[in-house]
Amino acid sequence: MTNVDVGWNAPLGERYDIVVIGGGIHGVCVTYEAARRGLSVLLLERKDFGSGTSSNSMKIVHGGLRYMQDFDFKRVIDSNREFRILQHIAPALVQPLSCQLDVRGRGVLFSLKFRSGLALYNAIAKFAARAVPSALDVPASHYPGWYDGIILDTEEFLLSYLHTAFREESGKVAFRNHVGDVTVMCREGRAVAVTTASTGPIEAGAIIECVGVAREGQPVGMAMNLIVDRLDLNAGAIARGFVHPHDGRSVFTVPWRDASIVGTFERSYSGDPREALSIDPEVIDEFLAWLAPVHAEFAKLTRGDVRFVHAGLLPKDAHESEELSRASKVDETEDGRIRVLGVKYTTSRALASQAIQRAATHLDKSVDDALDRLVPLISRSALVREFTAEYPKLSRPLAGGELTEGDVVFAVRHELAVDLTDVLFRRTRVANAGHPGDTLIHAVAGMMASLIGWTDSEKQKQIEQFEDDIHFTGGNIGTVVR
């Protein structure tokens, strides 16, 4: 049996050191951080891995420049250090992103403050880099810009954490998706086990909830980005930032693939955060109207220019607050569940490490941050290549496009993909920047039908469900606007 023959569908054990509830980037990182410390760990996700807010990130790994304005130096150091750690563990996926802020028209005082902040930030960034073993050196920032990071493919990144965790402690690491809500079971007032509709009770040394905004009573807001054809503003692959002339918020346009991601627009949200997110197309018009005064190139954008929308829910500190929460936290309930509430993709691994250190006290084990033992993640695309090399017939391109048959077989056999949306959005990258085209959808559905055993009507239903999801009528994964 080769490495790639081991799928994630192995039978579950009866007890794990850690049971993680929720498979967004935070739950996935907790799983990875537990596995690399030799703990047994089970990850349970209600829908699919990365199908919540995590499918909507702007892809920026923040170095922490923005926290300079609050003089929050600890956060600057933590973010910057994390940026370098992520580059170290996933150098092909996390790349430096050259950023510039347009300070024109902001007045001399603003410009001066920004320049001094930037100089101090660069000094702190150099200091933060020292703390990380063998971190790649990010080129020095040049005025008026700086370097953040960009995760080229957030789906691949999330899956690579899971592949790495899975290989780390073979037999002691397990994942299940599409399990519905997970119920926590208590004994003598302590949370000790979990159960789902498809599994019996599973004992846990510690339970870590990473359910994002789905946690009880959590106030939420919505954040959105637009994907448009590559803007001239992003010439030279430079991300450009602006200060909104009316509300003072940051507006960024980030070069990504052949497109630009523009945002982030924030809005209140009154729906149930545990249900699929839905937005009205009029909100896109509001977004465009908000962008217009920022720059002439934004002012030219119309709804017809928008390829796709990424929108997701994020925590607020209070229902009445207009602002999204700025700080992540790890806390604990009275019955001993550890809860992770993260506000940034950037710091998810670091927050997960904190959660594991807290969980270790429940297990009577002591664990450190294990930074000196960080090694590069197993690359998901390398595994797929290895897999197709073993079964060369599967290297045939599907519908003449960028996917091979091997991509689909690998996703279904080895990564628990059960529906078309799992494969097209979250195992491969073909649908997360726009509609992948009917020919490819039908080819993938045909392959999945023969692998999973769908009847013709089930296959048709899957195609309809995917179309629903991508048009935002049923899922919070994105919307095709044209």
Binding site for ligand FAD (CB under 6 A): 21-27, 44-47, 51-54, 56-60, 62, 181-182, 210-212, 214, 223-225, 264, 310, 312, 314, 342-346
Q: Output the smallest distance, CB 214 to ligand FAD, in A.
A: 4
- Give 285 or 368: the residue with its C-beta nearer to ligand FAD: 285
State how far the Cα of 197 lies from the Cα of 183, in Å rounded to an integer. Answer: 9
Q: Whose Cβ is closer to ligand FAD: residue 89's or residue 447's?
A: 89
Which residue, 62 or 337, is less far from ligand FAD as judged by CB?
62
Q: Cβ of residue 58: shortest distance to ligand FAD, in angstroms?
A: 3
**Nearer to ligand FAD (CB atom), residue 31 or residue 122:** 31
Which 3 state secondary structure label does DSSP give 135? coil
| Prior bond of 264 cis (ω within 30°) | yes
Which secondary structure element, helix H or strand E, spans residue 262, and what is its range?
Answer: strand 259-268
Least Cβ distance, residue 405 to ligand FAD (angstroms):
28
Q: How crowded is residue 371: how many other Cβ atoms within 10 Å of its Cβ?
A: 14
- Residue 334 has a CB neighbour count (10 Å cut-off) of 8
Give me the least distance between CB of 388 and ligand FAD, in Å please.
Answer: 29
Q: What gap in Å lies between CA 68 and CA 39, rounded to an integer?
A: 37
Which helix (H) or strand (E) segment is 154 a member of? helix 154-168
Asked whether 337 and 193 are in contact (CB, 8 A), the reply is no
Minimum Å gap between C-beta 143 and ligand FAD is 23
Whether residue 154 contacts residue 59, with contact meaning beta carbons closer than 8 Å, is answered with yes
Alpha-carbon distance 96 to 142, whole Å?
A: 13
- When CB distances to ligand FAD are compared, the closest residue is 24
Shortest Cβ 400–ligand FAD spacing (Å): 32
**Tokens describing residue 280:** 């009205």
Q: Other C-beta atoms within 10 Å of 468: how many?
A: 14
Among residues 269 and 387, whose Cβ is nearest to ligand FAD?
269
Q: Shortest distance, CB of residue 103 to ligand FAD, whole angstroms?
A: 22
User: Would you say 162 or 211 has its CB closer to ligand FAD?
Assistant: 211
Residues 307 and 295: their CA atoms lie apart, in Å, by: 20
Which residue's CB is nearer to ligand FAD, number 167 or number 274? 274
